[in-house]
Amino acid sequence: MRPVLASITFPTSPPSASDGAAVYAANCATCHGADGRGVVAGSRDFNDLDYMRAAAAADFYTSITNGKGSMPGFRDELSDGDRWNVTYYLWHWSVPDATLALGSQVYAANCVSCHGEDGNGAIPQAPAFTDVEFISRYSASQFFKSVSGGKGIMPAWQSRLSDAERWASVEYARAFAYQPVRGAAAPTRPAEATAAPPPTEAPTATPVPPPTAAPAPTEAPPPATAPPVATQAPAPPGAPAGDAAAGKQTWATKPCIGCHGPSAEGGIGPKLAGTALGWDQVLSAVRNGQGAGMPAFAAAVISDQELADIYAWLKSQ
C-alpha cells in the first residue's frame, strides 16, 4: 500500500455510501459512468473485484480530494463528508448485499467471540472495526491475507473457511466502518438502533421496522455478580491458588474464547470445561503452544495468576 498522506481528516461517524450516490451522479458519472465501468481514457472499472479489493479507501479519498492524472481534485467542490460518502459508494458494485449476507453468517459463527457483535472487539487485542481510520487505511486484500494466514493471536482461517467465506467476512468486517448502500445485511451499529429503517427496494404498504430498531428496553438486568461459584479452591499441586469466580470473568476477556468457546465448551480447540489436565499441562500448553492450532501466549496476554483463576474455574465445572 502506498503511504497515505498524514493530513487526511478521518470521519468520526460511519460514512454513508447511499448518500454518496447523489454525489457520484452529479460529479463523477460523466467520466466514470453511471455503472462505474469508466468512460474516459484511464478511468478505472469500479466493478473490477481485484481492483477494488486491492484499494484502500484512504488512498481513493486522497485522489478524489487532490485529483490524480487528468482527474480534477474535489477539495473545494465537495465537503469532507461528501468525499468520504462517495469514496465508500464506489464499493457498492463489488460488494453486493449477497456478500454482506454471507459475511454476516460467517462472522456470527467464527469471528464474533473475539471481535464482538458490534465489531469493537470482545477481547482487548482485537482492533475496532468501527474505527473508520483503521478500516480506511487498509485494503480488503490485506485483511484477507491476515484472516487467511492468521495474525498475532488470531488463528488462520484458510483451512476452515472457503475463499468466498473469507472474502465475505472481511467485507462484513469493513462494513462496520461505513453504511453500505442498501445495507439490509450490514452490521448493526448501536447508533442505528433508533435510526429510520433503510429504504427497501420494493416498499410495502405497512413497513415493519427491522428487529433491531426497537431493542427490548427493560429486560431484567443480569445480576451484577454471577451466582457464586466455588471460590478459592485449594490449589492443586504446583498451581498458584486460583479464584474460580474471578477466572470465569477473566475468561470472557481472553482470546481463549475464540477457539475454546465462551463457556470453554470447545470449538476450534478442545473442550476445557471440567478438564482433567494437571496445572503443569495447562501452563505448558499456554506458554509453549501445542500442536498446530494452539498458539503460545506470553504473560503479558495472560498472567500466571489469571491462568490459575481460569484453571480453578475450569476444574469447578
Site for ligand HEC, rule CB under 6 A: 27-28, 30-32, 40, 42-44, 59-60, 63-64, 68-71, 74, 86, 90, 106, 110-111, 113-115, 125-127, 142-143, 146-147, 151-155, 157, 169-170, 173, 254-256, 258-260, 268-270, 272, 277, 282, 285-286, 290-291, 293-295, 297, 302, 310
What's the CA angle centered on 299, arms 298 and 300, to 5 degrees?
A: 90
| Distance (Å, whole) CA 237 – CA 258 | 29
Residue with smaller CB distance to ligand HEC, 177 or 245: 177
| Among 154, 146, 200, residue whose Cα is nearest residue 174 | 146
Residue with smaller CB distance to ligand HEC, 213 or 304: 304
Least distance in angstroms from the C-beta of 182 to ligand HEC: 19
First to last CA, the chain: 48
Residue with smaller CB distance to ligand HEC, 74 or 178: 74
Least distance in angstroms from the C-beta of 200 to ligand HEC: 26
| Distance (Å, whole) CA 228 – CA 249 | 12
Least distance in angstroms from the C-beta of 132 to ligand HEC: 14
Residue with smaller CB distance to ligand HEC, 13 or 141: 141
| Among 101, 109, 132, residue whose Cα is nearest residue 10 | 132
Least distance in angstroms from the C-beta of 284 to ligand HEC: 8
Residue with smaller CB distance to ligand HEC, 44 or 182: 44
**248-254 contacts, C-beta under 8 A, 24 or more apart:** 248/313, 250/306, 250/309, 250/310, 251/310, 251/313, 252/122, 253/123, 253/124, 254/123, 254/301, 254/302, 254/306, 254/310
Q: Which grid coordinates are listed for 117?
A: 457483535
Least distance in angstroms from the C-beta of 79 to ligand HEC: 12
Q: Which grid coordinates are listed for 50?
A: 481485484
Helix or strand (DSSP H, E) at 98: helix 97-110
Burial (CB count <10 Å: 0-12, 13-18, 19+), residue 52: buried
Least distance in angstroms from the C-beta of 213 to ligand HEC: 26
Residue with smaller CB distance to ligand HEC, 169 or 245: 169
Residue with smaller CB distance to ligand HEC, 153 or 245: 153
| Distance (Å, whole) CA 253 – CA 160 | 24
Least distance in angstroms from the C-beta of 254 to ligand HEC: 5
